[in-house]
A and B are shown apart, each in its own frame.
Chain A
Amino acid sequence: MNIEQLLLAVLTYGCLYSVMTVNLNLQYARGGMINFGTVAYFAAGAYAYAIFTQEPPSGLDQYAFGFNSPWWVGFIAAGVAAFLFAIVTGWPTLRLRGEYLALTTFAFAEVLHSIFLNERRIGNGSVGLSNVNRPDFSWIGMSDNYGFAGAAILLLMFTAFLCHRILASPYGRAIDAVRDDETAAEAVGKDIKRLRFEIFVISAVPVGFAGALYAMITTLVSPGLFTAEVTFFVWIALILGGEHTIKGAIFGTLALILFEEVVRSFNFETVRSAEIAASVEHIMTGIIFIMILRWQPFDRFTKKEAVQ
């Protein structure tokens, strides 16, 4: 892998995952809600995109729906699907706090994963949907790799703008107050259920869009891609970047993706050396994780913004 490809991959996946980290920052660091089911909204978006853009089933296909829509219809459908799933999961969990919410959202994500795996009429079960349609970038004279990197950057910019707009307003002040002390927030007229629900639902939408983009890039959606590992990756990135800031969330994600892609770019002569490298990667990830938590480089870098 050459440097150009490496940087493109880091940018594309870094921005894509950053969309999730930035939204988790809104939900958790500011809204105080522990969501361990982030992958579910990502998966809902990816599946919605694939179902809307694929051709109707024929031959051996087990899936029941395919609408053959243009990519932008699928993209909007992805946002809507994540939005709806957030309403369905957010409404019953409104009263839950802390680890109870964490467990419930985790369970919801596992349920969705299980449905995708076992209900073959949605997406061919464990096989998944392959050859997902992707938009063509040739009309603006761009190769696919550059096109998707650009799309991921745009989506991240949109998400960061959205979050910043919310957090810099009295709305951000109100959700900070609700997170700090619910009873006191109610005593100054804050409807904590409404605020928490709105944050929960609105932050799911960009994650759905990211799911659609992911489906376009990989041209494959299958249950194996949307496991709890995605959620934990996003959580680790958020913690690495230091909580409370949009910049921190993005830096943490980019750093983590960079590390993974660099490790992946090595060529190995033998299977044995690849195995050793894989084990060393885990060890190195752990060591880097501890070092970052100890010195908090990104946190320090973004602290100015946080204090304001």
Chain B
Amino acid sequence: MIDDILVVNKLTKQFGGLKAVGGQGGLSFNVKRGALVGLIGPNGAGKSTTFNLISGVLEPSSGSVALNGKDLSNIKSSEIASHGLGRTFQTPRAFTSLSVLENVMVGAGSTGERLTSVFSGSWRTDEADIKSKAIEVLQQVGLDDRIGDIVANLSGGELRMLEVARQLIRDPEILLLDEPTAGVDPSLQGKLSSILVDLHNEGRTLIVVEHNLHFLLSIADVVIVLQNGELLAEGTPNEIKNDQRVISAYLGDEYAA
């Protein structure tokens, strides 16, 4: 088993000549299996772009990403998802014509998504399993009382949890969460952090982009700081809090220990 589940090597991305990620030598970092990594940095630092490059939504201009030692270049984002990488989006993306339960069930790759299985009807045997698994993950993220609801009735915070549930049913090894606390009221943030800690304790690798540093620094093992698409610092939360460059670029004086 490879120790580093994710290896980002000299990654760059240009949008119309403007470098969004990578800077001089490209962005490189490794993520250890089972780690809870915080990815922070000022607005426009390239955090979401980095997520999009890792998950295959965007194609890198140069450099590579390897998941479990497998190079992800030229692999479609839908296939990357099938290799055990799950992600959520900065703006929650729900399937609005489906119910809450269906939103989660669609996350599970059913055999019924093949036409042969549709016409033979063989998908029906798996359907009950998928449904009970979906209810299970909805309980895990605290949405079990909204199962039959339509998506339009969910709050912003609930939509974020729905996205997490939709990924959890796929049982991803590594989960990329883009600002999970944005729009979530403070009373729910405690619940959210315990959900993330639970996922971490299950042995999943998590990378979390977050501006809420009280939240993030209390749960992360490792923090990676980006600035202008480049790696500014990498270390434990304590090291980061005391890093003078990070304080001046992003944290501000209130975090200085």
Contact = CB atoms under 8 A, between A and B. Distances in A.
Contact of B87 (A166, A174, A187): A187
A138 to B, nearest CB: 34
Interface stretch (A7-15, A106-114, A119-127, A175-183): A175-183
Given A188-B81, A189-B109, A183 B115 contact: no
A274 interface: no
A153 B119 CA distance: 21
A188 B170 contact: yes
Given A183-B57, A186-B78, A188-B107, A171 B97 contact: no
Interface string B97-120: 110001001110111111101110
Contacts of A184: 89, 93-95, 163
A203 to B, nearest CB: 12
B55 interface: yes
A159 B89 CA distance: 38
A202 interface: yes
Interface residues of A, number: 25
A170 B115 contact: no
Interface in B166-204: 166-167, 170
Contact of A186 (B57, B94, B127): B57
Interface in A123-138: none
A173 B98 contact: yes
B89 A183 contact: yes
A170 B123 contact: yes
A170 B166 contact: no
Contact of A177 (B106, B115, B130): B106
Contacts of B55: 187
Contacts of B110: 170, 174
B112 A186 contact: no
Given A186-B77, A186-B78, A171 B96 contact: no
Q: What range describes how many residues of B lie at the interface?
A: 35 or more
B82 interface: yes
B245 interface: no
Contacts of B57: 183, 186-187
Interface string B153-169: 00000000001001100
A179 B76 CA distance: 18
B112 A171 contact: yes
A179 to B, nearest CB: 7
Given A183-B89, A187-B81, A189-B81, 10 more contacts: A170-B123, A180-B96, A185-B95, A186-B78, A187-B86, A187-B87, A188-B166, A188-B167, A190-B78, A191-B79
- Top 5 nearest A-B pairs (CB, nearest first) are A170-B112, A184-B93, A170-B110, A189-B81, A180-B95
